[in-house]
Amino acid sequence: QKEVEQDPGPLSVPEGAIVSLNCTYSNSAFQYFMWYRQYSRKGPELLMYTYSSGNKEDGRFTAQVDKSSKYISLFIRDSQPSDSATYLCASGEVEGGKLIFGQGTELSVKP
């Protein structure tokens, strides 16, 4: 069983739509959760970091963690063509420890 699973998409939405990206994880020891954005042939860019169940909001982005169901989500409001990228979820156990990444979901926002 993969430790972090993510639907690879691709997901195509019109500009202005609300986007929902989701991951599940299997390791109960995961304590913290990240969302990264990756443009083609570029490094992952940290978007959101959470370590507890609940919601965390930053501008148009909201990260949601439900530890009871091992489910993590990223919502993007008022999506823009510049949001078109691959979104990676990642989870880790301890400070300074490795991150386990999902496959990534490719998002395309059409003008």
Partner 1 sequence: EPEVTQTPSHQVTQMGQEVILRCVPISNHLYFYWYRQILGQKVEFLVSFYNNEISEKSEIFDDQFSVERPDGSNFTLKIRSTKLEDSAMYFCASSYANELFFGEGSRLTVL
Contact residues for partner 1, defined by CB under 8 A = 32, 34, 36, 41-46, 49, 51, 88, 90, 92, 95-104
Q: Which is nearer to partner 1, 17 or 93 (CB)?
A: 93
Q: Which is nearer to partner 1, 49 or 61 (CB)?
A: 49
Q: Which is nearer to partner 1, 73 or 103 (CB)?
A: 103
Of the candidates 109, 19, 26, the one whose C-alpha atom is nearest the C-alpha of residue 71 is 26
User: How far, in whole angstroms, is CA 40 from its chain's centroid?
Assistant: 16
Distance CA 16, CA 62 (A): 15
